[in-house]
């Protein structure tokens, strides 16, 4: 790094170790970016909502944005480790150096990390804004979620109740989440939403499922003895199936 900005060596880029580091940088960036993205994308759950898809996109983007920095650190490390190494109980001769401080290198480094930081912030804010607006959707279905030691249950607008969640596909839904005892965290895994259930308060989060299927609901906040088992399923149905389920269950609860 030190010599990159040195005004006294006009042809610094022609030096062997700089060239080597540069090539390694390109390679490391590519490898880290590719492996990092694939590691995340392959292991992440399959998205069942636009929210989860945008989280996956964010992680892809962040990984590629961080890859050049990680690549540079790796490239310099490799160059250093593959240069002449000294073994033994006594130290090697001291290294003469061109520069001890490089305000320019530091400035460039800080500006770049500041820009990356700003980029991450803006990317995050855009997605955050979409999520926040979803809660205000007036056409949304409202579902009350109650967490309690060690179960979830769900109340629907027509009085139906269930211990596993039923939702129609492609329709926004707002969850009103509370707890009757200690803190829990309502996590619909494949939809990428999570919100704590606090005793005495109601919190809100929203999502639009976009896939028919069965997905997972888990508790993500240690809530005592059987926390590990505090999970259930969410069934995303077609609108017709959902209506049928809802009226059948609304009738049962009301008729008893």
Within 124-153, the residues that bind other proteins by CB under 8 A are 124-125, 127-128, 131-132, 146, 148-151, 153
Residues 16-55 that bind other proteins (CB under 8 A): 17, 36, 39-40, 43-45, 51-52, 54-55
Cβ-based neighbours of 135, under 8 Å, separated by 6 or more: 174, 204, 205, 206
Measured between alpha carbons, how far is 159 from 64 in angstroms, rounded to an integer? 48
Tokens of 110: 């800080």
- 3-state class of 59 per DSSP? helix
Candidates 109, 170, 172, 212; binder of other proteins (CB under 8 A) is: 109
Candidates 50, 189, 210, 212; binder of other proteins (CB under 8 A) is: 189
Measured between alpha carbons, how far is 190 from 187 in angstroms, rounded to an integer? 9
DSSP 2: G
Binding status of residue 163 toward other proteins by CB under 8 A: yes
Residues 197-226 that bind other proteins (CB under 8 A): 198-201, 203-205, 216-226
**Residue count, binding to other proteins (CB under 8 A):** 116
Binding segment for other proteins among 75-83, 137-145, 166-174, 241-249 (CB under 8 A)? 75-83
Residue nearer to other proteins on the CB measure, 31 or 76: 76
Residue nearer to other proteins on the CB measure, 198 or 210: 198
Instruction: Kindly state the helix (H) or strand (E) to which residue 129 belongs, with its residue range.
Output: helix 103-135
Residue 164, CB-side half-sphere exposure with 13 Å CA sphere: 10
Candidates 25, 37, 48, 74; binder of other proteins (CB under 8 A) is: 74
Residues 233-252 that bind other proteins (CB under 8 A): 233, 252
Nearest to 212 by CA among 251, 241, 250: 241
Residue nearer to other proteins on the CB measure, 46 or 239: 46
Candidates 1, 136, 248, 254; binder of other proteins (CB under 8 A) is: 1
Tokens of 93: 């001769």
Q: Are 163 and 151 in contact (CB under 8 A)?
A: yes
């Amino acid at each position: 790094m030190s010599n990159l900005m040195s005004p006294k060596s006009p042809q610094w880029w022609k030096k062997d170790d700089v060239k080597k580091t540069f090539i390694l940088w390109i390679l490391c960036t590519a490898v880290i970016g590719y492996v990092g993205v694939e590691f995340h994308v392959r292991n992440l759950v399959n998205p069942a909502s636009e929210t989860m898809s945008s989280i996956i996109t964010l992680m892809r983007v962040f990984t590629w944005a961080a890859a050049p920095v990680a690549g540079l650190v790796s490239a310099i490390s490799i160059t250093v480790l593959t240069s002449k190494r000294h073994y033994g109980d006594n130290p090697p001769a001291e290294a003469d150096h061109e520069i001890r401080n490089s305000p320019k290198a530091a400035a460039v480094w800080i500006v770049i990390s500041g820009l990356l930081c700003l980029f991450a912030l803006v990317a995050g804010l855009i997605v955050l804004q979409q999520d926040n607006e979803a809660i205000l959707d007036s056409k949304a279905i409202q579902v009350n979620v109650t967490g309690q030691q060690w179960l979830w249950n769900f109340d629907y607008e027509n009085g139906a109740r269930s211990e596993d969640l039923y939702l129609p596909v492609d329709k926004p839904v707002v969850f009103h989440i509370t707890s009757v005892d200690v803190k829990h965290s309502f996590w619909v895994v494949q939809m990428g939403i999570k919100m704590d259930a606090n005793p005495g308060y109601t919190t809100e989060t929203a999502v639009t499922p976009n896939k028919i299927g069965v997905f997972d609901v888990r508790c993500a906040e240690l809530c005592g003895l059987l926390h590990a088992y505090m999970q259930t399923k969410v069934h995303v149905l077609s609108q017709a199936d959902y209506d049928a389920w809802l009226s059948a269950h609304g009738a049962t609860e009301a008729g008893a």
